[in-house]
Amino acid sequence: MVARASRGILDDITVVDLTTFVTGGFATLMLANQGAEVIKIERPEVGDDSRHSGPPFVDISDYEGEGRAASEHGESPYFWTVNYDKRSVELNLKSEEGYEICRELIDEADVVVENFRPGTAERLGLGYEELAEDHPELVYCSISAFGDSGPWSDRPGYDLLIQGMSGMMSVTGPEGGDPVKVGLPQTDLITAMWSAFGIVNALYRRERTGEGERVELGMLDAALPWLTKQAAKAFVGDEPTRMGTKDPVLAPYQSYPTADGYLNVACGNQKLWEQFCAEIGREDLASDSRFESNADRVENMDALEAELAETLTERSTDEWVERLADDADLPVGPVYSVDEALDNEQVNARGAIETLSHPAAGEIPILEHPLNYAESESGFDEAPPLLGEDTEAVVEALGYSEAEIEELRRKGVLSS
């Protein structure tokens, strides 16, 4: 493999990433953030599907170094956010030579991650059972929409479908309105986090036993545990519904209009509620029988909303935040735009947004991951790769000569 500087908890772990799009990509991104070397296998000339997701795109047509944009429009910033610190190798897995190179990479790796439809990896000769025969210490993660068992296992799936089938869309959106998709690829990211968690657990087991492991999960399975309070209602016969920003079991716990925007108010216990009422000059609400306990407030949520909206619209969001959060230490906060969320004094102080030098696009912003250790390092060191940027270096490290690499390019095994 291509050597990297030692820096993170997983710095001795090599991952072969056979995935495309977000679910597997974010899982291996999490491993890269902790120091793992991630070799991303991509289709020649096409690459990962997320390279084509846009606009927006960044024009890199003047770049003359190794690698290139997969899309005729340029580089996708969406692809960047899921692929920092990885190496891109263009490899035709359907060719005999491409398969052999992939097997050689896997023989030197610790982890393989794939998100093919169930059965596809086996047809390519890259299923867990076949690989584990020669590499019994391998940790292998299989991700699919519905898992590799059950009547829906052969169905394709994307985040939108899983949001709908997991119940998420039924509880997202305005009361009485249409189902609404969460504005993020929520179930992709949920599944990615479960996948990375499972992989690290399997690596820990390998440390104890010397044995490899297969981690298998479906996106629908991954999404269901996140229903929590909505599932709790369903389990006792209540039907969770869309409630806008309201919460099914806490009040006040929602967004309220202010004079110039919105304010989130999260009173998670009785003490906070009573203090909140005092600070906004509405002690009458704390003594109102409709709002005496949290259960009362949940039962009378609409009436509570009307009372609080009347008061909170008297001041601007910034005024309320200063008065309630800064001065009174209450859990309230503004509703930021994405731009505001990415650029504010707290985010800047924590170094949550950094920059890295991209080989073709110059300095680009990166979203750092939130784990901070007392005794270990984490974080991204390198920009996301251009398509095929590392093909030659990675294949050379396997022992292939320049002439052999050129012949593989001629045959279409590697990108030309």
What's at 240, amino acid-wise? P
DSSP conformation letters of 217-260: EEHHHHHGGGGTHHHHHHHTT------TT--SS-SSEEEEE-SS
E-strand ranges in 64-190 read: 86-90, 111-114, 139-144
Ramachandran region, residue 145 (left: φ > 0; alpha: ψ -120 to 50; beta: rest) = alpha
* 213 DSSP β-pair partners: 139
Query: What amino acid is encoded at 412 in this protein?
Result: G
Are 106 and 139 a contacting pair, CB within 8 Å? Answer: no
Nearest CA-CA partner of 388 in 411, 409, 364, 402: 409
- Can you say whether the dihedral through the CA atoms of 105, 360, 408, 413 is positive or negative? positive
d(CA 384, CA 364): 10
Concerning whether 188 is annotated as a catalytic residue, the answer is yes
Handedness of CA 75, 78, 84, 89 (dihedral sign): negative
Catalytic hit among 110, 188, 221, 390: 188
Q: Could you give the CA distance from residue 191 to residue 218 in angstroms, rounded to a whole number?
A: 8
Q: Which residues are catalytic, by number? A: 188
